[in-house]
Structure 1
């Protein structure tokens, strides 16, 4: 059988040509990487962090009418231009991804469009980077990290990734290989829970302000790139905002609709305390009402009003200052001192809760 020859005279790939699947690599229990080549031997030109749109024949019996188009971040790096890969994770509502995992095999060809997108550290040169990802949001970070590795430059990257368990960390072995050989890549992993009967040396628990400070003490000096589920990215934004980070240096990529141009970037309209806005805290059990700024914490307002709320750490970790809120809304960025169930039932941590308008608490 003749060996395939590299076509050094080939042109860059264009989406007039289909992609041919050449490998399917299992990554975790519900995640696979699909590697594609251009049948003509064309090479791939893109920026690390960009995405490609795949035209998937989820119902071949209906012809083109049965196709769906799905965008996937490219997990490979343009420093390795002879192939391109996407890494997909099955979700309960997946259609296109489910079809890929169940049916896409080497030798099959599919139509693709792109690459596209503006989520790339090529567009934001910096001396230091902080990559923050969760789940399959790791894919653009992997592309950018591989580029930095292949370029053999002295890039300073702190790579923070959150997963359910150690076995759910996509690209773990490859990232550990990189981090073990270059001083400029610091790998910081956190999981919700470790595997039974296995030792876990990384962080455990939801990513928090305290954890972020330990992982990257100089986070204020770093350009931040974030990708993951929207609730995760919102929590990261709230953490950084409350820590005084310059959000003009924050960049994120959405799972749902990656932006092709700056005009398509959605406006982030997070609720945040405003030092000019006035608020009011009604301490119902004590019969005290106090005016304050939205940037004041409920604990600080209580102390100024001569009321005692037991407290400990004062940064949302110990849970000592947990009280029940009976009306109104607060902005709370905690460090694990309260559960989601408690929050759903109306409990807050007074030390890190800021009243947004008028609130009532049982104090």
Structure 2
């Protein structure tokens, strides 16, 4: 079969399957319209999904829950309050609908950061909560298929009905001696699962050998902050700790603060645009509100989809991770992570 690396700027897919994982989360499978190719990415990475909503193509980033070399891409998307894309996918995306997919991105993966070896055995701990399960589930499946790794998988959820991949996780637990599932529920319905919320005491109880495992963490922002703190208190080797570094946007972009102390001009000569922007407002907000062709997917300075060039003026960037040294030296920035500090002239690709 043909191998597709998803290296082009945009790839058109169709939704070929869709089902509910929980009452407010769905999984979708995406396939190309030509043949049945395989796709290449690193387990744990995310793609930026583009869907036309109300006459405009919106982009958001979602972790892949499938594994490389399958002939379809799988995403699992949960509704979030005021989430334009997530609510659309759950409620309105239909089988047969076309979507755009931007190339995979993200440093959170188990290929560049494989499990470490302890006493002659590779050992990994997957930690997740809610929809944060998607990338670590992909990692676990990949490692079980391609390597001899001892995996402990700790997932926390409200209850069984809100546990994404419940059947799949229990199947892995039953069929693989080197996979141990520890499901921690706030409302456990039977003695086969633990009841509680993940804290330092539960970590030590569920994973007695936690200091002898590479750790992969994904979940809501506060959950990840708390768990990282617990791991540090447990004297875990943090060089073996890896976590997802982007949080998808949950709300619509806020209006720029044009009433702040200073007001600057954002000019985009190629499109004949001269915009007003408040001091310390995000460059991305000004460009998006003006309807200029910029893709905002992760909105966290990770995927690189909003790359643009500052020809004149000054912005302050909080993230440059997807940019090369040459791009940075030539004035390229990420609009979603750059605040405006003066009048600026912007070049869009």
Give the TM-score taking structure 1 as reference length: 0.65
Give the gaps of 5 or more residues in structure 1.
1-7, 61-65, 266-363
Match of 2:247 in 1: 255
Question: What SS does structure 1 have at the residue aligned with 2:95?
Answer: coil
State whether structure 2 residue 108 is matched by structure 1 residue 119.
yes
Report the alpha carbon displacement of residue 263 of structure 1 after superposing the two structures with TM: 5.3
Report the alpha carbon displacement of residue 22 of structure 1 after superposing the two structures with TM: 0.3
Q: 1:36 aligns with which of 22, 30, 33?
A: 30
Question: CA separation of 1:10/1:159 partners in 2, compared to 1, >3 Å: closer, same or farther?
Answer: closer
Q: Are the equivalent residues in 2 in contact too, given 1:36–1:83 (CA < 8 A)?
A: yes
Q: Are the equivalent residues in 1 in contact too, given 2:15–2:98 (CA < 8 A)?
A: yes
Runs of 4+ aligned residues of structure 1 deviating over 4 Å after TM superposition are: 9-15, 260-263
Pairing of 1:247-286 with structure 2 (within 5 A): 247-253=238-244, 254-256=246-248, 257=300, 259-260=302-303, 264=321
Match of 1:136 in 2: 131
Match of 2:203 in 1: 212
> Root-mean-square deviation (CA), in Å?
1.9
Match of 1:301 in 2: none
How many residue pairs match? The answer is 248
Higher relative contact order (CA 8 A, sep 6+): 2
Question: CA separation of 1:259/1:130 partners in 2, compared to 1, >3 Å: closer, same or farther?
Answer: farther
Q: Are the equivalent residues in 2 in contact too, given 1:117–1:258 (CA < 8 A)?
A: no
State whether structure 2 residue 42 is matched by structure 1 residue 47.
yes
Report the alpha carbon displacement of residue 128 of structure 1 after superposing the two structures with TM: 0.9
Looking at structure 1, the residues matched to 303 and 217 of structure 2 have their Cα atoms a distance apart, in angstroms, of 17
Give the TM-score taking structure 2 as reference length: 0.67
Looking at structure 1, the residues matched to 172 and 320 of structure 2 have their Cα atoms a distance apart, in angstroms, of 35
Match of 2:58 in 1: 68
Pairing of 1:1-363 with structure 2 (within 5 A): 8-9=1-2, 11-15=4-8, 16-41=10-35, 42-60=37-55, 66-79=56-69, 81-125=70-114, 126=116, 127-151=122-146, 153-194=147-188, 198-253=189-244, 254-256=246-248, 257=300, 259-260=302-303, 264=321
Q: Are the equivalent residues in 2 in contact too, given 1:137–1:255 (CA < 8 A)?
A: no
Which structure has the bigger radius of gyration?
A: 1
Post-superposition Cα deviations, 1:188-245, rounded to whole Å, max 9, x if no partner, equal 1101113xxx424211111111211121111111111100111101110110111111
Question: CA separation of 1:129/1:9 partners in 2, compared to 1, >3 Å: closer, same or farther?
Answer: closer
Question: What SS does structure 2 have at the residue aligned with 1:142?
Answer: helix
Looking at structure 2, the residues matched to 40 and 17 of structure 1 have their Cα atoms a distance apart, in angstroms, of 12
